[in-house]
Amino acid sequence: MSTLPGGLTPGQQRAAPKLPEAINRMMSLHDGDRGLLEVVACGKEAIGPLRFLLFKREPSGIYEPRRRVASALRSLQAYDALREFLALRREISDPVERTGEDAVINAVARELMCRPRETDFPLLLDVLRWRILAGVIESAGVFEKPEAIPYFIDALAEDDCRPEAETALLRLGRLSESALVKCATRRPRSGFESSTSRRQRRSALELLAEIGIAPERWVRLRHLIEEPDPKFAAPVCKLALMTPRIGDQRNAMERLLDLLGGSDWMVANNIEAWLLEHFSELSSRVDDVLAKGEVSLSDRAKLVLARVKTQAISSRAKTTSQDTIENF
């Protein structure tokens, strides 16, 4: 049996409520999802009223009904209405209304990405020039264009945008390396650094630890190995392990072992994983440390190092055994 927009059969559509009733239901807080399906089932005649509701400001800050409006417009393939909405700058001073409007902008940006086109990127970039928002960051990241990198870097400072910005920068890979190095090494002239700035710089370092770094840029980060905060120093050490040509692998290993004494469980787990990943390059130094039982190391560091060696030997033995079986 054929179906119509909204998943309704022709017979069900004939029994569907009239458009005004469906819209009223969609805009309610209780039956909104049901109303959404009914509005979409009304077809193209719903686009005009939906566009009006999308553009209508909501001082209460309640945004869910207008998010459903955006979803309905996307289902009806009214992408031009979504683009018109994003192109409109809204200067809203009331924080409650502003929060709701931001949520609607995010929803519209994400709905637009169900059928993106190249001309959507400049539109999204224009929104980011006046408002850094998670949904807009996420949608702009789909295009993987380096022109958006400065906005993604700025978004690393915002808790509600950081995950989307990190994903976008990872997609760009080495194209974002220079901007991330600049962000990670930026210090306020006053000497006082806000917690927001520290979270932004830490995020940049963690991204670099995923992306990698060119040896010629390492010199700008090298001093951060000595940062007292493990969340800053640890990803820099990982970069050193990843980049053999810079010649700091052993120093990085020793610093990671030192950091284990005062790091939380998440950083400690990362350090152990990194040491295991690069064990082949560090094995002689690991043997030296374990053989000498260096008193400067914490008990936690000694335990981690012993566990890393055991896991590395076990993994190597399994690989050798598997190779033997396959060659038999």
**Domain edges within the chain:** 1-115
Q: Express each pLDDT in 92-107 by its tens digit.
A: 999 999 999 999 999 9
Mean pLDDT over residues 45-63, rounded?
A: 95
- Rounded to whole angstroms, the Cα distance separating 319 from 185 reads 41
The pLDDT value recorded for residue 323 is: 57
Please determine, for residue 140, whether its predicted confidence score (pLDDT) is greater than 60.
yes
Q: Considering the chain, what percentage of its residues have pLDDT values greater than 90?
A: 55
- Rounded to whole angstroms, the Cα distance separating 144 from 142 reads 6
Q: Could you give phi then psi for residue 2, rounded to 5 degrees?
A: -70, 150
How far the first Cα of the chain sits from its last, in Å, is 58
- Rounded to whole angstroms, the Cα distance separating 77 from 82 reads 10
The pLDDT value recorded for residue 326 is: 59
The pLDDT value recorded for residue 296 is: 65
Lowest mean pLDDT among 145-154, 230-239, 271-280, 314-323: 314-323
Q: How far is CA 309 from the centre of its chain?
A: 33
The pLDDT value recorded for residue 17 is: 55
The pLDDT value recorded for residue 76 is: 96
The strand pairing partners of 4, in sequence order, are: 8
Kindly provide the b/e burial profile for residues 155-164, where b requires at least 16 CB atoms within 10 angstroms of the residue's own CB: bbbbeebbeb
The pLDDT value recorded for residue 169 is: 98
Lowest mean pLDDT among 65-79, 100-114, 205-219, 255-269: 255-269
Please determine, for residue 71, whether its predicted confidence score (pLDDT) is greater than 90.
yes
Q: Evaluate whether 57 touches 91 at the Cβ level (below 8 Å).
A: no
The pLDDT value recorded for residue 55 is: 96
The pLDDT value recorded for residue 249 is: 83
- Rounded to whole angstroms, the Cα distance separating 219 from 195 reads 25
The DSSP 8-state label assigned to residue 17 in this structure reads P
The pLDDT value recorded for residue 294 is: 60
The pLDDT value recorded for residue 276 is: 87
Q: Evaluate whether 182 touches 158 at the Cβ level (below 8 Å).
A: no
Q: Express each pLDDT in 227-269 by its tens digit.
A: 988 989 999 999 988 887 767 888 888 888 888 877 888 888 9
The strand pairing partners of 8, in sequence order, are: 4
Q: Evaluate whether 266 touches 302 at the Cβ level (below 8 Å).
A: no
Q: Which residue carries 């807009």 as its tokens?
A: 136
Please compute Rg for the chain using Cα positions: 27
Mean pLDDT over residues 306-317, rounded?
A: 83
Q: Which amino acid is at 85?
A: F
Neighbours of 279 (CB within 10 A): 18
Q: Could you give phi then psi for residue 4, rounded to 5 degrees?
A: -115, 170
pTM, 2 dp: 0.83
Show Cβ contacts of residue 181 under 8 Å, excluding neighbours closer than 6 positions: 204, 208, 213, 217, 220, 221
The DSSP 8-state label assigned to residue 4 in this structure reads B
Q: Is 207 exposed, middle or buried (0-12, 13-18, 19+ CB in 10 A)?
A: buried
